[in-house]
Amino acid sequence: MPDQVLDDISHRRYNPLTGSWLLVSPHRTKRPWQGQQEAPSKVQLPEYDPKCYLCPGNTRAQGDANPQYQHTFAFLNDYSAVKEEQQEYKPEVNSDDIASLLLQAQPVTGRCYVLTFSPKHNVTLADMPAPEILPIIQTWTRIYASHMSPTHPLQAEAARALQSIPSNPDGEVDVPKHQLRYMQIFENKGAAMGCSNPHPHCQIWTTSELPEEPGRELSQMTKYCAGRGRHLLADYVKVEMEKGERIVWQNEAFLVVCPWWAVWPFEVLVIAKRHVRALVDLTDAERLQFAEAVQEVTRRYDNLFETNFPYSSGIHQAPIDCTVEEAENSWFHMHFYPPLLRSATVRKFLVGFEMLGEPQRDITAEQAAVRLRDCGGELYRKASE
């Protein structure tokens, strides 16, 4: 264990991936709660919902019909956050004009996709065994590869990956007209995380600019490698495997931890053990092992409070248009940010000091890891059937 005193005193922890700090207050777990409580997710969904915009064969909001897909289905988001074509904007920055320096704007173009995980309306990743999650990862890989720039340093790896991944016409998307910079794959699960449709799905946003979070991480990893000659996450994997107290689960290819710097109560980081730069770097065996890691995390989440555990998750990897240095400084990992704190009805809020000062958490990452380690085994819903 880390210094035992940290279990009882307020202290700050450093996040080397972002260069930021957070406040940890383990003694606050004893305070009574009389605030807002979330409604636990107990709704029984049908396997097919004729009113769902994502179920096979149904018509979406703008009139397009879904195919009778069997595994995954990808399509351009009917209400995309960014568009591929828009009015041109070229701001002029004048160093003598204070307004032009302070009121800056930057045009962003791109494409946003929706990817369903399953034709079944009533399942989540926690319900799906690893072999059923594998086609999702294969589709992510094919979409990532199709959006890579022609000069991308991982083109050879992408070609090898595509040779071994079976094709799925329902999971294919059109290539953008213009080269984009970054691809963010993410899932918002549950109404508490703003998900508007319970059908299992994720989103894939591709943008012409590198977003703040992956950009900050890439900058930190680049600085670390330049200063020490080693990769930040390679060293972090080594440290966590030596210490062990924050490990939730692992297999040959991936390590699942509650990171030292976790902000959310049961935040989890899935990290490749070897230097994987992007999805296209994974071997066939590693793609299945990644599916196993995702399944372990989501099943343990649901078992923790015996509910459909809400979270936001996302993959950080090499940009789809990058230099050799940027590719080499990237390290494949996946974040899980869940809001629940004490039960299926009590969630954490990032407000007050956390908005105006810095993030704060109550239970330590070590305590959270113990709870999640103890939640293995069969999914609670199946055990009660």
Binding residue positions for Zn(2+)? 52, 55, 121, 199
User: Which of 147, 201, 231, 275 is flagged as catalytic?
Assistant: 201
SS3 201: strand
Residue list, annotated binding site for Fe cation: 217, 316, 333, 335
Is residue 107 a contact partner of residue 176, using CB atoms and an 8 Å limit? no
Neighbours of 15 (CB within 10 A): 18
Q: Is 201 a catalytic residue?
A: yes
289: phi > 0 → left, psi -120 to 50 → alpha, else beta; which? alpha
Distance from the Cα of residue 17 to its chain's centroid: 15
The type of residue at 101 is L
Residue list, annotated binding site for UDP-alpha-D-glucose: 28-31, 61, 77-78, 188, 194-196, 203, 348-349, 353-354, 360
Cα–Cα distance measured from residue 113 to residue 76, given in angstroms and rounded to the nearest whole number? 4
The full DSSP string for 28-93 is GGGS---S--PPP------S--TT-SSSTT-B-TTSPBPP--SS-EEEE-TT-SS-SS--------
Cα–Cα distance measured from residue 19 to residue 218, given in angstroms and rounded to the nearest whole number? 11
The type of residue at 233 is L
SS3 294: helix
Distances (CA, A) of 52 to 61, 66, 309: 10, 11, 21
Distances (CA, A) of 193 to 147, 316, 348, 349: 28, 19, 12, 12
Residue list, annotated binding site: 28-31, 52, 55, 61, 77-78, 121, 188, 194-196, 199, 203, 217, 316, 333, 335, 348-349, 353-354, 360
Which stretches within the chain are classed as H helix? 98-102, 130-147, 155-164, 212-228, 232-243, 284-305, 324-329, 353-356, 365-373, 380-383
Look up residue 203 and give its two tokens. 């989103």
DSSP 170: G
Residue 318: closest CA among 108, 114, 113, 149: 149
Catalytic residues: 201
